[in-house]
Structure formats: C-alpha cells, structure tokens
Amino acid sequence: MVGKDDVVLVTGATGFTGTYLLKLLSETGCVVRAIARPSSNRSEFSALKIDWFIGDVYSPEVVHDAMQGVNYVFHIAAAYREAKIEDQEYWKVHLESTKLLAEEAVNQKFFKRFVHVSTVGVLGHIDKPPADESSPYNPGDIYQETKAEAEKWIIQFAKETSLPITIIRPAAIYGPGDRRLLKLFKIAKLPIIPLIGFSKGFYHLIHVRDLVSFLLFVADNPLASGNIYICGSPRPNSIRGMIRVITTGMGRNPRFVRVPAWPVFLLGDICEAICRRLNVEPPIYRRRIAFFTKDRAFSTDRMQDLGYQTQVSDEEGLRQLGDWYREKGWL
C-alpha cells in the first residue's frame, strides 16, 4: 500500500478521476504532488496538503521538477474533445508527456511503480466480444490513436529500462462529479428514445470510486508489475439496458426506435466543422455519436484474478448519478 513516507505524483489531477484519486491519496498521509495547468480550478483542494506544479504535463521543465524523488506516478492526464483542441495537442498530452515522465522515472533512485492510465478505447469497436488485454489495437479516433501509441511506447521503454509499470485501461468512467452521461439521462426523458445504428450497443462502465481504488490496489502489488488490466464492471451493459435502469428511476416505461447511424454521423461531422470555425463547442460530434453505436464488451477476468472486486454495481451507480444530476437541477 502507498504509505506515508512515499512521494506520489498525479497528472490530470484536477480532472474527474484525478480529483477522486487526490482525495484518496491524501487519506494515506503520503506526500502528494500534482501537475495542473494554470487555468485549472484548484479551489476544492484548498483543505488538502498537495504540492502543485503548475504548467503543461508535456513541459520538460515542469515534469523534471515534479519528478524529483518520486516513488509512484499515476499518469491520468488526458485531452478530451473540444472545439479548440488541435490533433497535435492529443499527441503532446498522451504521448509526449508519457515519454517525459517515464524518462525521469528511471532516474529516481527509489522509484517503485508507474501506473499508466490508458483507455479500453485503444481496442476500438469489438467485432467479436468480449475483448481482453490480448486483443489487437484498433483505435478509431485521434484520442484512441494517441492513447494506443503512448501504451506501445511505454511498454517498449519498460522492456529496455526495466521501469516497473502497470497499465490500466478503464471502461467508461462515471459517477457524481462527471457530466458525460448526462446526455444519456436527457435522452431517457424523451417520449420515444432513438437507438442509433443496429449494433447491440454493448458498453462497459466503471464507477470512479472503483477505478481509483483499483489504481491504488495495483500500485504496490508485485503481481501487477508489467501487466495490463481492463478495469470495468464484471459484465457489460448496453445502451438500451442503461436507459432502462435510468427510466426505472424516473418511473417511466421507455419506448425505443432504431434509426440508421450514417445520417447522424454526417450531421455530427458537419456540426463539428462549423463549430470548430466558430471556436465553440459542438453539441454533437463523431466521437459522441459513436458512444451510442459501438459494441464494447470486455472480459475483466484478469482484474478479478488479481483479487480485486468492484463495489458499485451499474444499477446502483446510475441511480447515484441520476440523483446527483437532479440535485444540480440538470434533469
């Protein structure tokens, strides 16, 4: 277990997962360091003892300073789709930062583990589910492509330098504090609910509390060193199944209708192109639409064989999230 004498660095610290991890790490009494952009909101961490390093996660100077004497790295930083983000930013945040952190890590005398947080998205659409950690890379967009390249690079680097790494591929991360599933809850309120495309719409969830607990679980586990783990709930759900859980909480009986995917993707491409020119966030875009069309069912046997069991079921987690959205006045 990460102990009070350990120095721990977290990237992506002010993001959704990073916020939960910082708070959990603070309870261990270890020395917590975090890299954050100047524009990041750090107000909710004012009561926590955190050593902040302000700058880009791909800044050589920032990374060098933050890594001195570090024992553990939790590399969570990720670039998410926004209208003003260029493709080069994904390469910097995902690949360049990984290189800088890993190259600094091998120079730390008492370094213990580099926990690299990737995504199940590196496997793309799953033609023959369930996929597992040995399934081939099949990224479908710039986010997934750059995440895959970062994985490949650090795996090879670890072989060449004996850097102790563990790679975590989370499924869809959700829980109070995140708005990515809000669109699904709003769709569930429609009188007739469209299902885009004709795939089964398998989807795997992982509650953020389970994810951060697993990150700490693998950090000092000798059996996890050098391995990749898909982190998700034991069984895949489906878009239809998730909507049924949501509508049950609303006291509604959903009615579904299937619509072809290609016109919706075309609309998303047009919308994103226009919004990019206007420098505003597109209401729909290809990656968001793909959420409703991909089959992403995975085996989480390797995680369970390591001895970790998730604590929050999909049904319980979706109910919690719906309650939080209602508290915020978004539903």
pLDDT given at position 328: 95
In 3-state terms, what secondary structure has residue 36?
Answer: strand
pLDDT given at position 84: 63
pLDDT given at position 111: 97
pLDDT band for 81, please (50, 70, 90 cuts). low
| Domains in the chain, number | 1
Q: What range does the domain containing 118 cover?
A: 7-179+204-233+298-311
Would you say residue 141 lies in a domain? yes
pLDDT band for 62, please (50, 70, 90 cuts). very high
> Residues 26, 9: contact at Cβ < 8 Å?
no
Find where tokens 């970790």 sit.
Answer: 308
In 3-state terms, what secondary structure has residue 280?
Answer: coil
Query: Does 310 score more than 70 pLDDT?
Result: yes
Give the chain's mean pLDDT.
Answer: 91
Would you say residue 41 lies in a domain? yes
pLDDT given at position 281: 76
pLDDT given at position 73: 98
Higher-pLDDT residue of 262 and 23 is: 23
Would you say residue 331 lies in a domain? no
Higher-pLDDT residue of 331 and 77 is: 77
Higher-pLDDT residue of 271 and 130 is: 130
Would you say residue 292 lies in a domain? no
Q: Say which DSSP state 193 is in.
A: E
Would you say residue 157 lies in a domain? yes
Would you say residue 321 lies in a domain? no
Locate 216 and state its tokens.
């700490």
**How far apart, in whole angstroms, are the C-alpha atoms of residue 97 and residue 77?**
9
Mean pLDDT to the nearest integer, 201-218: 94
CATH code where residue 41 lies: 3.40.50.720
The model's pLDDT over 102-122, given as tens digits with 9 standing for 90+, comes to 999 999 999 999 999 999 999
pLDDT band for 83, please (50, 70, 90 cuts). low
Would you say residue 210 lies in a domain? yes
- What percentage of the chain exceeds 90 in pLDDT? 67
Q: Say which DSSP state 88 is in.
A: H
> Residues 125, 294: contact at Cβ < 8 Å?
yes
> Residues 25, 76: contact at Cβ < 8 Å?
no
Would you say residue 319 lies in a domain? no
